[in-house]
Structure 1
Amino acid sequence: MRRRSRHRSVRPTLSRDELGVLLERVYVDCHRRELIDPDPVLVVLRYGSVADREMAGLFCASLALGRARSIADACTRALLPFGENLSAAVRALGSTGTRGTLGLDRYRFFSGTDMASLLSGIGMIQERCGSLEAAFLATGGSHPGDCYPGGSHPGGTYSGAGPSASLLGHAEAFVRVLLAACREAAAALGSKVPLAANLISSPRDGSACKRLMLFFRWMVRCDEIDMGCWPGVYPSELVMPLDTHVHRIALELGLTRRPVADLQAALEVTEALRYFDPADPVRFDFSLARLGIRSDYSLNTYIAP
């Protein structure tokens, strides 16, 4: 006998106006600081400076695989020994010192060398470019990758992605820059083992790059949850960080029909949400994700019987 889903499809019963009302109700109820726990952004918010939030943000987002509580706990353990001034500590310690200080030997697919190389690589880019934002924006300037080699912008590859095309082009080049720095850090550790293949995903591969897009959301949007550390990027350019929870909910709401949570699905969801908020379509991400992460919230609550 076929097992019935506990989540009813609402696509046939919601008009666009009704969907807009539902999204706003979920946003008002769930986009609140007291509902952050156990989201890993809680770890990032413990830091005060832009440099520390960039480093902690990219590190925590990169480890965002599995249950939210496990991710947050792993990130806390890994970063706690570096103290309050994370970026300065990592840069002062160098690759070897960072590996020795790291408070975690492994998380899922990632070894201690992977994690230390990521932290050190981020520190190298901050040292050379001034910030991760500067490195990201440099990939589209008149002299691509000035502050770090290998960062040329891939041009019109994402021309069909609407307002998000520029961000995706920058993201592809930014990932190349970041991986180059991480490999440099790994080499300084004497590691002959390649970095984990999925440490950082690139949109070039057609992946939704949920973890990278989550980092961008944290850095670009500015409210009680997202930190607004990158004023040089517009919220309208962001792409929905599409994980399994949000993808399932998006399917039920008719925001996408694509059965696989890939880049195309993420863009479809983003464009659907752009109708309701052209300037900030990704503002619905945190609230929709609560419906999948927290047991005390459910999409069914917002569906009229």
Structure 2
Amino acid sequence: MLNFEELKDFLNEKADIYNNSEFIQDDPVQIPHRFSLKQDIEIAGFLAATISWGNRKSIIKSADKMLDIMGNSPYDFVKNYSEKDLRSIEGKSVHRTFNGEDFTYFVRQFNRIYKENESLEDLFIIKDSETNFYHAIERFRAQFLHIEKHRSHKHISSPYKNSSSKRIIMFLRWMIRNDNRGVDFGIWKKIDPKNLSIPLDVHTGNISRKLGLISRTQNDWKTVLELDEMIRKFDDKDPAKYDFALFGLGVTKELF
């Protein structure tokens, strides 16, 4: 097992290798990279992140399908859609269990949110006493999901229910980190990257255990906090950069 300094150097090196524009080619982050308008980036990014489970090629293909439906102008579409537009979507399949009904629900919520807010960032603001997105994600859920119960609620997971909330955490990384490396956007200026966590899934969880970064066996919110504690010792200003290191180690299977 590597000691603290060796592990820090190893992870910094791996993060540096993978945190570049080549990373985009096969990753869902390529979807928001097709846009320059802030709100287009937010909507395309949020939709791509929401369906980010399973095979990455299939995620990108499904995100393409959503963009096509929106005429490749997401912000314009959510502001100006007609009911006829939405009715034509409802019966479509989009990505696995995320279907046309979910898609139209999201479009309606975006429409409402952007009438009241210039940016989705306003829904994720962290309060002074908070060091992570545990409460901020729940505040976002309360505002975005809006109505009591709907099938689409399952697509935005809840840290209060001990979910790792991997897809929202990944979306937050895209929007908040700003290191001029060409992957993350850094278009949200009101939230400090020091509060970000690692998007925790099967791969990052397994690699983190092999490296001794976490000991919990589940990939849940408690494990996100355990991983936070370790990676913030390596870099307390930009902990989420280590997502690139863990991802890279997953791709290369260097530890297996």
Normalised by the length of structure 1, the TM-score is 0.77
State how far apart, in whole Å, the 2-side matches of 1:44 and 1:102 are: 23
1:266 to 205, 220, 224: 224
Aligned to 1:83: 71
State how far apart, in whole Å, the 2-side matches of 1:287 and 1:45 are: 21
Aligned ranges 1:60-209 → 2 under 5 Å: 60-94=48-82, 96-100=84-88, 105-137=93-125, 163-164=131-132, 167-180=133-146, 183=147, 194-209=150-165
State how far apart, in whole Å, the 1-side matches of 2:78 and 2:15 are: 37
Aligned to 2:190: 232
1:219 to 175, 183, 191: 175
Percent identity (aligned):
30
The gaps in structure 1 that reach 5 residues or longer are 1-12, 142-155, 185-192
Question: Following TM superposition, by how much is the alpha carbon of 1:116 offset from its aligned partner in structure 2, in angstroms?
Answer: 1.8
The answer to whether the 8 A contact 1:61-1:215 is kept is yes
Aligned to 2:29: 41
Decide whether aligned partners of structure 1 residues 261 and 112 sit closer, same or farther in structure 2, where only a CA change above 3 A counts: same
The answer to whether the 8 A contact 2:123-2:136 is kept is no
State how far apart, in whole Å, the 1-side matches of 2:12 and 2:28 are: 24
The answer to whether the 8 A contact 1:95-1:117 is kept is no
**Greater relative CO, 1 or 2 (CA 8 Å, sep 6+):** 2
User: Which sits farther off after the overlay, 256-265 or 69-78?
Assistant: 69-78
Q: Deviations over 1:120-168 (max 9, x none)?
A: 212320122222112333x859xxxxxxxxxxxxxx8xx7xxx22xx32
The answer to whether the 8 A contact 1:236-1:279 is kept is yes
State how far apart, in whole Å, the 2-side matches of 1:272 and 1:211 are: 21
Normalised by the length of structure 2, the TM-score is 0.91
Matched, 1:27 2:30: no
The answer to whether the 8 A contact 1:80-1:103 is kept is no
